[in-house]
């Protein structure tokens, strides 16, 4: 046998006679009863030997056709066992090994509805807990503050060009192409924390408040009108305390109307920065309206609607909300929302929405015991797409759980990367929509691709599959050894990982390379494939894709593999590669 067949192609070569167990022909003489048995055994083994030789000749002489011999390993369990498939093709030799791995799954992360969460009482003032409690804000004077109407000059409310605030008494702009703005500001009990700017398309500040060196009065309503030229403007309302203008310390707000239509109103949630686009259209082209869903960011310094991204933060508390807090902030400074530990209500869904610039932000959650249980969860959506979802975490390791959120981030991709992503998403779209579910595309992860590439390099020398120790992401792998050039591109690999299982109707876990590709709760993928020529002239192809979150998670807990594959959320593996979500 040649060395190539010795290493891999065990199915293609019949055993030698000494491998068949037919050693009776060498037995020493025995009594007459056994002497007859000896001859019979020898005859049988002679027949087996002839058959083996004939089989070997047939294998060597058969024509080169694309007929495959498939082998399936013993069914894997949910805890990560691979489903191996080796295909041997005849053009000299061609050995394919495809494997899909199930997610590592621990029952510790299963929400057991029949058991009550056991959480110990906590001292909210314990500095060793590492949980920050925001100091209470105390008004300068005691008692209720009556809301007052501001009757001073408009310039004490709005800082802008005098020509803009010279509005006729009939509240109509002299130039019909301009839009009539009405701004109403109601301050809370801490108006010195409040300010605002309006910038035009060139990034120039055209409106602002309060006047330099001054603050607004507490619990006061300011109203003013002005005329603005057609164009797009960015309103930003800031609160230095990071708790917004409503509602714990007064009912503050800002409302902007253009030609009688409300186009911006501040949120009741905590914020340090609130942004909205406002468009003034020329007469006859339509009514003024706020900007719709943003598109990817531009690289210019001028302001446009493409520079802001909608970020939604959702936190559903469990039965022990007083142990939980969360904060969303810019990494380079600026808190957008801060819900201090001890301030939340049990079993309540908190929602915060922001329009933010592209960049890096951080969501930090704190909890005393086990994170969010019994239906509690946290979620972040960017422009409507959920980029991270989670609930429990190991608070024995850390009472904080933090993720970097990157609105507007687009990873660099090669043409090959795009082929991998397209091959995955085309199949996901077809499957999700066929099953009546909203299609969830994968996004490319350079971190996962780099990790896959590193392990491909480890497998290339042997051209045999083995899984890297400690990998918690989902994974599909393939190796192929051949004496001739083969097409092992993304489309070919995905046809083996997905299409053939859909056609054959195989169940789980035999189809787990397919279920990982289609797993709806997975968001991130990174792949790498390489080919090398061995010293004996054979070609080795190795392909690996890794996924986060991991698919094939606790499939046995669902009614079927299909129900598990189409679920909205999963709990195995990391929510985002390296805790960076986009």
- Look at residue 474 and tell me whether its pLDDT is greater than 60: yes
Q: Nearest Cα to 141, choosing from 219, 238, 222, 215?
A: 219
Cα–Cα distance, 557 to 48 (Å, whole number): 49
Residues whose CB is less than 8 angstroms from the CB of residue 516 and which lie 6 or more positions away in sequence, other chains included: 100, 101, 474, 475, 476, 497, 522, 547, 550, 551, 552
Tell me what the pLDDT averaged over the chain comes to: 77
Cα–Cα distances in angstroms (integers) from residue 191 to residues 141, 153, 215, 354, in the given order: 14, 18, 7, 21
pLDDT of 326: 98
How sure is the predictor about 64, in pLDDT bands with cuts at 50, 70 and 90? very low
Contact in structure between 49 and 22 (CB atoms under 8 Å): yes
88-106 pLDDT, tens digit each: 444 456 678 788 776 654 3
Cα–Cα distance, 512 to 100 (Å, whole number): 6
Q: Whole-angstrom distance between the N-terminal and C-terminal Cα of the chain?
A: 53
Residues whose CB is less than 8 angstroms from the CB of residue 374 and which lie 6 or more positions away in sequence, other chains included: 111, 113, 117, 318, 319
Q: Nearest Cα to 470, choosing from 109, 76, 102, 104?
A: 104
Q: C-alpha dihedral over 281, 285, 287, 290, to 10 degrees?
A: -50
- Look at residue 545 and tell me whether its pLDDT is greater than 80: yes
- Look at residue 209 and tell me whether its pLDDT is greater than 80: yes
Contact in structure between 475 and 554 (CB atoms under 8 Å): no
252-283 pLDDT, tens digit each: 999 999 988 888 899 877 788 888 888 887 75
- Look at residue 527 and tell me whether its pLDDT is greater than 50: yes
What is the CB-side half-sphere exposure of residue 90 using CA atoms within 13 A?
Answer: 12
pLDDT of 89: 44
Which range (56-70, 258-272, 379-393) has the least confidence?
56-70
How sure is the predictor about 569, in pLDDT bands with cuts at 50, 70 and 90? very high
pLDDT of 48: 41
Which range (43-57, 314-328, 538-552) has the least confidence?
43-57
Contact in structure between 14 and 54 (CB atoms under 8 Å): no
Q: Nearest Cα to 99, choosing from 421, 417, 471, 447?
A: 471
Average pLDDT over residues 184-211: 92
């Amino acid at each position: 046998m040649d060395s190539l067949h010795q290493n891999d192609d065990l199915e293609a070569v019949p055993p030698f006679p000494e491998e068949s167990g037919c050693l009776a022909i060498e037995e020493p003489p025995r009594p007459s009863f056994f002497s007859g048995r000896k001859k019979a055994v020898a005859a049988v083994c002679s027949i087996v030997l002839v058959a083996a030789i004939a089989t070997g000749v047939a294998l060597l002489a058969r024509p080169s056709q694309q007929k495959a011999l498939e082998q399936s390993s013993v069914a894997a369990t949910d805890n990560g066992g691979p489903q191996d498939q080796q295909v041997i093709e005849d053009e000299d030799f061609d050995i394919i090994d495809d494997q899909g791995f199930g997610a590592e799954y621990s029952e510790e992360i299963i929400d057991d509805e029949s058991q009550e969460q056991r959480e110990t009482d906590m001292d909210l003032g314990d500095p060793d807990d590492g949980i920050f409690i925001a100091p209470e804000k105390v008004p300068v004077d005691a008692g209720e503050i009556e809301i007052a109407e501001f009757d001073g000059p408009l310039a004490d409310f709005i800082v802008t060009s005098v020509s803009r605030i010279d509005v006729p008494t009939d509240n109509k702009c002299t130039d019909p192409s301009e839009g009539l703005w009405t701004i109403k500001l109601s301050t809370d009990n801490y108006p010195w924390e409040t300010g605002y700017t309006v910038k035009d398309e060139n990034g120039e500040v055209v409106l602002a408040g309060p006047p330099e060196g001054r603050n607004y009065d507490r619990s006061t309503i300011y109203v003013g009108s002005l005329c603005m030229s057609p164009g797009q403007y960015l309103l930003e309302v800031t609160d230095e305390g990071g708790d917004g203008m409503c509602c714990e310390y007064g009912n503050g707000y800002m409302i902007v109307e253009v030609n009688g239509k409300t186009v911006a109103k501040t949120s009741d949630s905590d914020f340090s920065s609130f942004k909205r686009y406002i468009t003034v259209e020329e007469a006859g082209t339509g009514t003024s309206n706020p900007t719709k869903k943003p598109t990817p960011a531009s690289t210019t310094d001028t302001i446009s609607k493409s520079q802001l991204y909608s970020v939604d933060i959702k936190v559903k508390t469990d039965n022990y909300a007083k142990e939980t807090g969360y904060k969303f902030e810019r990494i380079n400074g600026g808190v957008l929302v801060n819900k201090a530990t001890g301030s939340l209500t049990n079993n309540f869904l908190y929602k915060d929405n922001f329009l933010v610039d592209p960049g890096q932000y951080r969501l930090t959650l704190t909890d005393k015991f086990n994170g969010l249980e019994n239906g509690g969860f946290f979620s972040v959506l960017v422009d409507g797409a959920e980029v991270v979802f989670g609930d429990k975490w190991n608070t024995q390791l850390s009472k904080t759980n933090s993720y970097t959120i990157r609105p507007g981030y687009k990873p660099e991709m090669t043409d090959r990367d795009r082929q991998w992503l397209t091959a995955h998403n085309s199949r996901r779209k077809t499957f999700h929509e066929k099953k009546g579910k909203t299609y969830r595309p994968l996004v490319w992860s350079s971190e996962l691709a780099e990790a896959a590439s590193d392990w491909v390099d480890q497998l290339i020398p042997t051209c045999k599959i083995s899984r890297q120790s400690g990998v918690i992401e989902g994974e599909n792998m393939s190796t192929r050894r051949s004496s001739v050039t083969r097409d092992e591109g993304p489309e070919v690999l995905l046809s083996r990982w997905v299409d053939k299982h859909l056609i054959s109707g195989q169940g789980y876990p035999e189809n787990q390379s397919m279920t990982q590709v289609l797993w709806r709760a997975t968001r991130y993928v990174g792949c790498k494939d390489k080919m090398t020529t061995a010293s004996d002239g054979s070609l080795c192809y190795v392909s690996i894709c890794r996924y986060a979150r991991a698919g094939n998670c606790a499939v046995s807990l669902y009614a079927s593999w299909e129900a598990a594959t189409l679920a909205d959320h999963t709990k195995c593996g990391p929510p985002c590669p390296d805790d960076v979500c986009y």
